[in-house]
Structure 1
């Protein structure tokens, strides 16, 4: 099969199209003919040596997110059969014509969705649900601040918050504001020219928001704490700007009864990941078939153009997901 691999850490040019052996499904695996694969920030971190190893642990090939057709099933697989259209999260190996996936990390492709749009769902929407609903406990009466709202997880989180009925504050760049507003944000904050803590202070008359979902890290931490109301929950999903040097007002945490929670899917134990996928599937999967939730696509590249797809993500100009499509 054709696949994307790299032999040394480096810039996007190290990604090359190679001939690779077909993956061998284990007892709990589906073997999937991949029609589309999602590009994730973790792929860039892997490629540049951030994790200190050249693979995600389950395959020496790049990629964590697929959509395609089941071509074989392991002996212990339940609920899937050959010919099913599936999407899901792998332990690596998504940038390929064939991939294996634990059946408990797979979901049916919703009716009416093509493979490109299906590949834009699993990683970002599962992460968004975990942050907003499972950990953040967002309710219809709540208000929420979603940072990096034009990104993959951010755009998914805005849609889930809208579907929940919450009031949504969202940060992004001015040129992406209309796209974020169209997803359902009530107040869009230009993070380059506005202080989000000041905007929230004024808009909520000092009450603050109930939930914050943050991907940025240390530079936002103190202002996130400042922006939370009584009983508020800060869910830290990423550290795009680093995690060192953050300061914290412990008195505010104490007297406002605040909670600070962190979540990362990739490093969790497999049963925990199964639970994340199941919670999202049971809660939201039916909303895609009716068009109530829509995966946001920024751009589509051929599998052989994986380097260009990585360069696109590195510009930080994208809105929604970047997808690789096989021939």
Structure 2
């Protein structure tokens, strides 16, 4: 259930705004089967909020961790219910909102509460959906592209002419990172399962590496004639750490974005870090303070919204499910078969 918030003066809040809505909740931590659809109160609008009728909702790996109990019953700023990413139409807004109006099409990142028909979002975490872009597809943009931009450019400082190795390149953030790196003029090495080769190359990868049958460190060494890559974007964690470090060129930067393979048992080759003058960064969005997340969203929007409008970069959508079928969407993500984003679609009523 959403944490109660004292209502403050709002502007442009239609009298037709419903009092309740369908949302996906869970009473106990566990597998996908714990997710159920239930009527809950519509969140009250705070001064900086937009209230958005969702057209689509992005499913993220953080949602799976939330369902399993990794965060406990945490409150993430907007709701303690699940979900981080929305796209839809503004139906009401707070008295201190700037730059948006009721009726605007928006997309963005929320601090919980996305798995619902309506969500509140701080307007500083929202972005306009480019004209001509499908509103459902817009639900596949914010979380993955903001995360990818932060890793590639704000932390790793990737620029044209450099090379980057992107792991899990068929996933949501991975496919976004491949597109951004390609659009920025970098040479892109990308790992994924061999059955996803076409999709990854279609996103702009220059060198595809099948992680099941090839050693990415050996491929990078061979193709770069032993130099290595300038940047590595990693989602795997401990099992890849040594090879990631050894795949970096002098002055290289490693950014850790996830721990799909676990966090324990890794040995860091400190001699390589020292003598190659390497840098290692970690980044996660969910637990960052609101002002940090707002800055991350704005950095992406300022640099890439025109490219999104022009189709230079695009959301990659694997599949869509009805909101009430969130459990099936989680099973799809856990299967490892997805390419790009999985979306939930609330039913119009």
Do they fold alike, i.e. is TM over 0.5?
yes
Give the structure 1 partner of residue 7 of structure 2. none
1:263 aligns with 2:283: yes
Mapped partners of 1:269, 1:19: distance in 2:
30
The aligned counterpart of 2:103 is 83
The 4+ residue runs of structure 1 with deviation greater than 6 A are none
Give distance in 2, aligned partners of 1:130 and 1:42: 17
Give me the whole-angstrom Cα distance separating, in 1, the residues matched to 2:318 and 2:157.
29
Instruction: Indicate if the aligned counterparts of 1:47 and 1:54 stay in contact, CA closer than 8 A.
Output: no
Secondary structure in structure 2 of the residue aligned to 1:20: strand
- In the alignment, what sits opposite 2:242? 222
Question: Is the CA contact 1:141–1:166 (under 8 Å) kept in the aligned structure 2?
Answer: yes
TM-score, with structure 1 as normaliser: 0.99
Name which of 35, 38, 41 aligns with 2:58. Answer: 38
| Structure 2 residue aligned with 1:323 | 343
**Cα offset for 1:60?**
2.6
CA–CA distance in structure 2, aligned partners of residues 62 and 248 of structure 1: 35
- 1:151-230 mapped onto 2 (5 Å cutoff): 151-230=171-250
**Distance (Å, rounded) in 1 between the aligned partners of 2:22 and 2:75:** 17
**Structure 1 counterpart of 2:168, from 148, 155, 168:** 148
Most deviating of 245-254 and 172-181: 245-254
Residue 289 (1) aligns with residue 289 (2):
no
What is the alpha-carbon distance in structure 2 between the residues aligned to residue 168 and residue 62 of structure 1? 34
Q: How far off is 1:52 after superposition?
A: 2.5
Q: Hey, what's the Cα distance between the residues in 1 that align with 2:25 and 2:294?
A: 27
- Using the alignment, how far apart are the partners of 1:252 and 1:179 within structure 2? 34
Aligned equivalent of 2:89: 69
- For residues 45 and 229 of structure 2, the distance between their equivalents in structure 1, rounded to whole angstroms, comes to 46
Q: Distance in 1 between matches of 2:165 and 2:306?
A: 26
Whole-angstrom CA distance in 2 between matches of 1:316 and 1:25: 37
- Of 254, 258, 266, the residue aligned with 2:274 is 254
1:56 deviates by 3.7
Q: Post-superposition shift, 1:290?
A: 0.9
Match of 2:15 in 1: none
How far off is 1:55 after superposition?
5.2
Q: Partners in 2 of 1:159 and 1:10 — Cα distance? A: 34
Q: Distance in 1 between matches of 2:273 and 2:292?
A: 28
**Aligned match for 1:111, one of 131, 138, 142:** 131
Q: How far apart, CA to CA, are the structure 2 residues paired with 1:117 and 1:159?
A: 16
2:98 aligned counterpart, secondary structure: coil
Aligned match of 1:99: 119
- Tell me what 1:307 maps to: 327
In structure 1, the gaps of 5 or more residues are none
Q: Distance in 2 between matches of 1:10 and 1:239?
A: 20
Return the offset for 1:244. Answer: 1.4
Identify the range of structure 1 (50-59 vs 301-310) with the bigger mean alpha-carbon deviation: 50-59
Contact 2:163–2:186 (CA under 8 A) maintained in structure 1 = yes
TM-score relative to the length of structure 2: 0.92
Match of 2:9 in 1: none
Separation in structure 1 between the aligned mates of residue 199 and residue 64 of structure 2, nearest angstrom:
25
